[in-house]
Amino acid sequence: MNEAKIHPEVEAIGEDIVATRRHIHQRPELAFAEYETAKLIAEQLTAMGMEVATEVGRTGVVGLLHGAVEGPCIALRADMDGLPIQETGDLSFKSQNEGVMHACGHDGHTAMLLGAAKYLAETRNFDGTVVVIFQPAEEGGGGGREMCEDGMMDRWGIQEVYGMHNWPGMPVGSFAIRPGAFFAATDQFDITFEGCGGHAAKPHETVDTTVLASQAVLALQTIASRNADPVDQVVVSVTSFETSSKAFNVIPQKVQIKGTVRTMSPEMRALAEQRIGEICNGIATTFGGTADIRYIRGYPVMVNTEAETEFAAKVAASVSGSCEEAPLVMGGEDFAFMLEERPGAYILVGNGDTAMVHHPEYNFDDNAIPAGCSWWAEIVEQRMPAA
């Protein structure tokens, strides 16, 4: 990493931030069950002198901090839920909750935002209002949507919102960002084909759902190869294939397939949903069967707004010495719901040469904390400088 501008006040509380991060790491909680984590966050924000609201979007926590004089209102967001994964690493602060771990670094995100909040509360070197958002259920539960539907943006008059995620493979404390579409929309499909089961020795007396569903699996791949513009991004993955019979000599009455769709634009999202329905219904009809199709829309495309992304990149460069252009990410991120309601930006901070997120040996690198805390602090101080 290039020469960094790390706030000395952040460095002074660095050990406390690390201790908080490791405490949270030992006690991971799943989506909408982050009760102990939320309690810890609320207690720390209250001790900083913040106005605190709990149970926002079910288990979310919001802290409010006022500067010297009135001014704009910007929000900083961290996620706080863990994943249903058994941790296999050999850490002294390994997860104490069986089958649950912080495999995505949300413990680090939460600790960094708490550290930045403490710095801002002590220095108050800004005009306006800072809202710190600790969001539940990022890992598939849609906690960002829940907080928005709870009226968070209007309740506190939020005008801009900024988020951050650690990223393995990038140098520790470095930054990367991109304007526009950044993280993909994440949808699911669940399709049940029904035909006419029977004896495997008499296939002519059946409507073979195994053959029918297999044809559908192959045909669904033509959405990317033959329906989508080659310059657009779309992923259609069938991840489960289950028959109603487990016997070797029975043609099953039903076959169920499941999978995910990832897209980078509303138009491509709509096309994928339309074609999945047309392909599966068409194949089912061709073979004499039926298709029951459920298409479930998940997180929308996460879109960084232009001006706020340019500002966030400038701040990152002032902290770490540079800010690279991030690649498109086909994973989902429910910060997208907040960016649908307010302008803002989402940035990646390097986690070094570690296991990838969602891996049982992943661990957030505490050495990224000073850069992450300083970026959040600088977002506030540069966006809302004290007069």
36 and 144 share one domain? yes
- Decide which of 255, 280, 299 is a domain's last residue: 299
Q: Is the pLDDT of residue 7 over 80?
A: no
What is the pTM (predicted TM-score) of this model? 0.96
Residue 3 domain flag: no
- Decide which of 299, 319, 345 is a domain's last residue: 299
CATH code, domain with 280:
3.30.70.360
Tens digit of pLDDT for each residue in 252-304? 999 999 999 999 999 999 999 999 999 999 999 999 999 999 999 999 999 99
Q: Is the pLDDT of residue 16 over 90?
A: yes
Q: Is the pLDDT of residue 241 over 60?
A: yes
Q: Is the pLDDT of residue 1 over 60?
A: no
What range does the domain containing 234 cover?
185-299
266 and 325 share one domain? no
213 and 314 share one domain? no
Tens digit of pLDDT for each residue in 122-166? 999 999 999 999 999 999 999 999 999 999 999 999 999 999 999
14 and 122 share one domain? yes
172 and 79 share one domain? yes
Confidence (pLDDT) at 278: 98
Residue 123 domain flag: yes
Confidence (pLDDT) at 4: 56
31 and 177 share one domain? yes
Tens digit of pLDDT for each residue in 51-110? 999 999 999 999 999 998 999 999 999 999 999 999 999 999 999 999 999 999 999 999
The count of structural domains within the chain is 2
Confidence (pLDDT) at 358: 98
- Decide which of 253, 284, 299 is a domain's last residue: 299
Tens digit of pLDDT for each residue in 310-326? 999 999 999 999 999 99
Taking residues 111-123, report their average pLDDT: 97
Confidence (pLDDT) at 9: 81
Confidence (pLDDT) at 290: 98
3-state secondary structure string, the chain? CCCCCCCHHHHHCHHHHHHHHHHHHHCCCCCCCCHHHHHHHHHHHHHCCCEEEEEECCCEEEEEEECCCCCCEEEEEEECCCECCCCCCCCCCCCCCCCCECCCCHHHHHHHHHHHHHHHHHHCCECCEEEEEEECCCCCCCHHHHHHHCCHHHHCCCCEEEEEEEECCCCCCCEEECCEEEECEEEEEEEEEECECEECCCHHHCECHHHHHHHHHHHHCHHHHHHCCCCCCEEEEEEEEEECCCCCCEECCEEEEEEEEEECCHHHHHHHHHHHHHHHHHHHHHHCCEEEEEEEEEECCEEECHHHHHHHHHHHHHHHCCCEECCCECCCCCCHHHHHHCCEEEEEEECCCCCCCCCCCCCCCHHHHHHHHHHHHHHHHHHCECC
Tens digit of pLDDT for each residue in 38-47? 999 999 999 9
CATH code, domain with 315:
3.40.630.10
160 and 273 share one domain? no
Tens digit of pLDDT for each residue in 331-357? 999 999 999 999 999 999 999 999 999
Confidence (pLDDT) at 68: 87
Confidence (pLDDT) at 106: 98
Q: Is the pLDDT of residue 2 over 80?
A: no
177 and 308 share one domain? yes
308 and 176 share one domain? yes
128 and 212 share one domain? no
133 and 260 share one domain? no
255 and 309 share one domain? no
Confidence (pLDDT) at 11: 81
Confidence (pLDDT) at 305: 98
Confidence (pLDDT) at 8: 80
